[in-house]
């Protein structure tokens, strides 16, 4: 398998955490890519018209786009080890994945707004709205702690929190989420997390 890869992409990290948890990381060849919302990488586009990372090329040549689909594919290869058998627990994991991906989506919008968009074109209310989305979702997780689960929901949440730390170290999410802080500190020690640490 080949994975179009960017070392600071939180969605790539999410995929690689899953791969490590499932013991599949050694079967994935990382292909350096330069995904960008304006200067689009034609090498990725040749495989995935969206030109985004992560993009996985399966052993049979199938192109698999989007971290959610890639993670589900990898989990299927491993016998769905990260998919709870109980229907209610599975739904909880999927809901948590959606919420965590929402944090990531807002954080990436903020990153592009501040790092790519010219300062004169930035919209303060838009920026505030994204921060509020992140804040209300973190408050939800504080009120509904993940517990000791290791599934696609908790992996997605850990990937989102690590990206906030990487790109927005001044955003003190820990001061308002003490329970989530304790949870993340423990989850971050998992070998799959250590092996995939994001570096600017």
Q: What is the mean pLDDT of residues 89-116?
A: 94
**Does residue 154 share a domain with residue 185?**
yes
159 domain-assigned? yes
Here the CATH number for the domain that contains residue 47 is: 3.40.30.10
51, 77, 103 - which closes a domain: 77
In a domain, 197, yes or no: no
Query: The domain containing residue 7 runs over which residues?
Result: 2-77
Lowest mean pLDDT among 8-22, 47-61, 85-99, 131-145: 47-61
Please indicate, yes or no, whether residues 116 and 33 belong to a single structural domain of this protein.
no
In the chain, % of residues over pLDDT 70: 98
2 has which bridge partners? 29, 57
The pLDDT, as a whole number, for residue 78 is 96
pLDDT of residue 200: 66
| Same domain flag for 66 and 96 | no
pLDDT tier at 59, thresholds 50, 70, 90? very high
Q: What is the pLDDT of residues 125-135, one digit of tens each?
A: 999 999 999 99
- What is the tally of structural domains in the chain? 2
| pLDDT, averaged across the chain | 93
Closest by alpha carbon to 149, among 82, 94, 197, 85?
82
| Count of CA atoms in the C-beta half-sphere (13 A) of 86 | 6
In percent, how much of the chain has pLDDT > 90?
79
What pTM, to 2 d.p., does this model score?
0.94
- Residue 7 domain-assigned? yes
């Amino acid at each position: 398998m080949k994975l179009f890869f960017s070392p600071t992409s939180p969605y790539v990290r999410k995929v690689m955490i899953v791969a490590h948890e499932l013991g599949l990381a050694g079967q994935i060849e990382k292909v350096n890519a330069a995904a960008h919302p304006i200067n689009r990488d034609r090498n990725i586009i040749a495989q995935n018209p969206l030109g985004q990372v992560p993009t996985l090329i399966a052993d049979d040549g199938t192109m698999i786009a989007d971290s959610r689909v890639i993670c589900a594919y990898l989990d299927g290869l491993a016998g769905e080890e990260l998919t709870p058998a109980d229907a209610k627990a599975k739904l909880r994991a999927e809901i948590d994945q959606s919420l965590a991906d929402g944090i990531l989506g807002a954080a990436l919008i903020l990153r592009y707004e501040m790092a790519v968009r010219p300062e004169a074109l930035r919209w303060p209310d838009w920026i505030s709205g994204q921060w509020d989305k992140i804040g209300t979702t973190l408050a939800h997780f504080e009120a509904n702690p993940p517990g000791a689960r290791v599934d696609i929901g908790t992996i997605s949440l850990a990937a989102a929190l690590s990206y906030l730390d990487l790109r927005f170290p001044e955003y003190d999410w820990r001061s308002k989420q003490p329970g989530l802080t304790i949870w993340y500190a423990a989850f971050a020690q998992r070998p799959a997390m250590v092996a995939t640490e994001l570096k600017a």
